[in-house]
Amino acid sequence: MKYPRVAITGVGLWVKGFPTAKAWLAGSADPAAEKPLGTALDKVNRRRAGPLGRALADVAAEAIAMAGADPATVPTIIGSSIGEAATMIGLLDQMWRKHEPMSPAEFTVSVHNAASGLISICNKNRGMTTSLAADSDTPAAALLEGIGMVLTRGTPVLVACGDEPAPENLAGQAPLWAMLASAIVLAPPDTSPRLADLELEHATPGADELSPAALPPLHNPRFDALLVNNPQIGLAWLVDAALRRATGSVPLDNGDGRGYLAEVRAFPA
Amino acid sequence: MTESAQRRPVRPLAVTGYSIASALGSNRAEHLAALAAGRTGLGPPPFALPFQTAVGALPFEPPELTGPLTQWSTRLARMIAHLVQDLDEPLRRARARWRPERIGILMGTSTAGAESTERAYQAFVATGRFPDRYDFLRQHTFGASLHVVAELTGARGPAWMVSTACTSGAKPLASAARLIAAGMLDAAVVGGVDTLCTMTLHGFESLQALDRVPCRPFHKDRLGISIGEGGALMLLERDGDGRVLIESVGETSDAYHISAPHPEGHGAEAAMREALAFAGRRPEDVDHVNAHGTGTRLNDTAEAKAIARVFAQPLPVISTKSYTGHTLAAAGAIEAVFAALAIEEGFLPPSLHADPLDPEVKLNVPTSVTRGRFRHVLSNSFAFGGNNVSVLVGAP
Strands B159-162 and A129-133: antiparallel
> Are A112 and B110 within 8 A, CB to CB?
yes
pLDDT band for A167, please (50, 70, 90 cuts): confident
Per-residue pLDDT of B141-182, as tens digits, reads 999 999 999 999 999 999 999 999 999 999 999 999 999 999
The mean per-residue pLDDT over the stretch B374-395 comes to 97
To the nearest whole number, what is the mean pLDDT of chain A? 91
Q: What is the pLDDT of residue A209?
A: 41
What is the torsional sign of CA A221, A222, A226, A228?
Answer: negative
B254 touches chain A (CB under 8 A): yes
Question: Quick one: B27 exposed, middle or buried, by C-beta within 10 A (0-12, 13-18, 19+)?
Answer: middle
Q: What is the pLDDT of residue B7?
A: 52
Q: Of A159-173, B13-27, B82-96, where does mean pLDDT reach its minimum?
A: A159-173
Q: What is the pLDDT of residue A213?
A: 47
Q: How far apart are CA A202 and CA A139, in angstroms?
A: 13
Contact B163, A197 (CB under 8 A): no
The mean per-residue pLDDT over the stretch A95-115 comes to 92
Best of B76, B103, B236, B259 to disrupt the A interface (most A CBs within 10 Å) is: B259
> Are B203 and A102 within 8 A, CB to CB?
yes
pTM: 0.96
Best of A92, A138, A204, A254 to disrupt the B interface (most B CBs within 10 Å) is: A92
> Are B143 and A138 within 8 A, CB to CB?
yes
Percent of chain B with pLDDT over 90: 92
Active site residue B215: no
Q: How far apart are CA A163 and CA B269, in angstroms?
A: 33
B135 touches chain A (CB under 8 A): yes
Closest residue to B199, CB basis, from A91, A117, A148: A91
With helix as H, strand as E and coil as C, how does A174-235 read?
A: CCCCCCEEEEEEEECCCCCCCCEEEEEEECCCCCCCCCCCCCCECCCCCCCHHHHCCCCHHH
**Shortest alpha-carbon distance between residue B39 and chain A (Å):** 32
Q: How far apart are CA B365 and CA B68, in angstroms?
A: 48
Q: List C-alpha distances in Å: B181 to A149, B108, B169, B177.
A: 10, 20, 20, 6
**pLDDT over 50 (residue B3):** no
Please tell me what DSSP assigns to residue B351: -
Contact B177, B7 (CB under 8 A): no
Closest residue to B182, CB basis, from A4, A73, A110: A4
- Name every chain B residue with its beta carbon within 8 A of the beta carbon of A103: 206
- Name every chain B residue with its beta carbon within 8 A of the beta carbon of A117: 253, 258, 384-387
Please tell me the number of Cα atoms within 13 Å of A186 on its side-chain side.
29
Contact B1, B310 (CB under 8 A): no
Q: Of B88-92, B135-139, B236-240, B379-383, where does mean pLDDT reach its minimum?
A: B135-139
Look at residue B276 and give its three-state secondary structure. Answer: helix
Task: Report angle CA B13, B17, B21 to the nearest 5 degrees.
Answer: 120
Percent of chain A with pLDDT over 70: 93
Please tell me the number of Cα atoms within 13 Å of B103 on its side-chain side.
24
A254 touches chain B (CB under 8 A): no
Task: Report angle CA B81, B84, B86 to the nearest 5 degrees.
Answer: 110
**Shortest alpha-carbon distance between residue B321 and chain A (Å):** 21
> Are B181 and A118 within 8 A, CB to CB?
no
A107 touches chain B (CB under 8 A): yes
Contact B197, B118 (CB under 8 A): yes
Per-residue pLDDT of A83-94, as tens digits, reads 998 898 889 988
CB count in 10 Å sphere of residue A192: 8
- Name every chain B residue with its beta carbon within 8 A of the beta carbon of A129: 164, 251, 253, 385, 387
Q: Which of residues 62 through 101 in chain B touch A, CB cutoff 8 A?
A: 99-101
Chain A residue with Cα closest to B160? A134
Q: How far apart are CA A133 and CA A141, in angstroms?
A: 8
Task: Report angle CA B55, B58, B64 to the nearest 5 degrees.
Answer: 135
What type of residue sits at position B263?
P
pLDDT band for B268, please (50, 70, 90 cuts): very high
Q: How far is CA B50 from the centre of its chain?
A: 28
**pLDDT over 90 (residue B57):** yes
A211 touches chain B (CB under 8 A): no
B130 touches chain A (CB under 8 A): yes
Q: How far apart are CA B313 and CA B328, in angstroms?
A: 29
Q: How far apart are CA B12 and CA B261, in angstroms?
A: 29
B151 touches chain A (CB under 8 A): no
3-state helix, strand, coil in chain B (%, to 5): 40, 20, 40
Active site residue B292: yes
Q: What is the pLDDT of residue B1?
A: 43
Q: Which of residues 47 through 66 in chain B touch A, CB cutoff 8 A?
A: none
Nearest residue to A58 via CA among A131, A128, A127, A158: A158
Q: List C-alpha distances in Å: B101 to B105, B155, B158.
A: 10, 6, 8
Catalytic residue among B31, B219, B292, B376: B292
**Shortest alpha-carbon distance between residue A26 and chain B (Å):** 35
Chain A residue with Cα closest to B249? A128
Q: What is the pLDDT of residue B66?
A: 95
Closest residue to A129, CB basis, from B99, B270, B387: B387
Strands B376-383 and B288-290: parallel
pLDDT band for A137, please (50, 70, 90 cuts): very high
To the nearest whole number, what is the mean pLDDT of chain B? 95
B201 touches chain A (CB under 8 A): no
B288 vs B4, more confident: B288
Please tell me what DSSP assigns to residue B263: T
Closest residue to B258, CB basis, from A83, A118, A153: A118
Write down the ipTM of this complex: 0.96
Strands B230-237 and A260-266: unpaired
**Shortest alpha-carbon distance between residue A114 and chain B (Å):** 6
Q: What is the pLDDT of residue A108?
A: 93
**pLDDT over 50 (residue A110):** yes
> Are A75 and B114 within 8 A, CB to CB?
no
Q: How far apart are CA B274 and CA B266, in angstroms?
A: 12
Q: How far apart are CA B31 and CA B44, in angstroms?
A: 20
Nearest residue to A21 via CA among A72, A55, A50: A55
**Shortest alpha-carbon distance between residue B384 and chain A (Å):** 7
Chain A residue with Cα closest to B179? A148
> Are B142 and A88 within 8 A, CB to CB?
no
Nearest residue to A224 via CA among A12, A15, A11, A13: A15
The mean per-residue pLDDT over the stretch A10-30 comes to 95
Q: Which DSSP helix (H) or strand (E) runs through B103?
A: strand B103-108
| CB-based contacts of B37, cutoff 8 Å, min separation 6 | none
| CB-based contacts of B265, cutoff 8 Å, min separation 6 | B302, B303, B304, B305, B306, B307, B309
Annotate B117-165 with DSSP letters as a single string. Answer: HHHHHHHHHHHSS--TT--IIIIISTTHHHHHHHHHH---S-EEEE--G
Per-residue pLDDT of B184-225, as tens digits, reads 999 999 999 999 999 999 999 999 999 999 999 999 999 999
Active site residue B326: yes
Strands B159-162 and B103-108: parallel
Catalytic residue among B166, B266, B353, B376: B166
Q: How far is CA A104 from the centre of its chain?
A: 27
Q: How far apart are CA A241 and CA A161, in angstroms?
A: 16
> Are A153 and B9 within 8 A, CB to CB?
yes
Strands B230-237 and B13-21: antiparallel
> Are B184 and A124 within 8 A, CB to CB?
no
B146 touches chain A (CB under 8 A): yes
Best of A56, A87, A107 to disrupt the B interface (most B CBs within 10 Å) is: A107
Annotate chain A with DSSP letters as a single string. Answer: -B---EEEEEEEEEETTB-SHHHHHHT---TT--S---TTS-HHHHHH--HHHHHHHHHHHHHHHHHT--TTT--EEEE-SS-SHHHHHHHHIIIIIS-PPPPHHHHHT-STTHHHHHHHHHTT--S-EEEEE-GGGHHHHHHHHHHHHHHHH-S-EEEEEEEPPPPHHHHTTSPP---EEEEEEEE-TT-SS-SEEEEEEEPPTTSS------SPBP--TTS-HHHHTSTTHHHHHHHHHHHTT--EEEESSSSSS--EEEEEEEPP-
Region of residue B346 (phi > 0: left; psi between -120 and 50: alpha; otherwise: beta): left
- Name every chain B residue with its beta carbon within 8 A of the beta carbon of A111: 110, 163, 165, 384-385
Q: Which DSSP helix (H) or strand (E) runs through B18?
A: strand B13-21
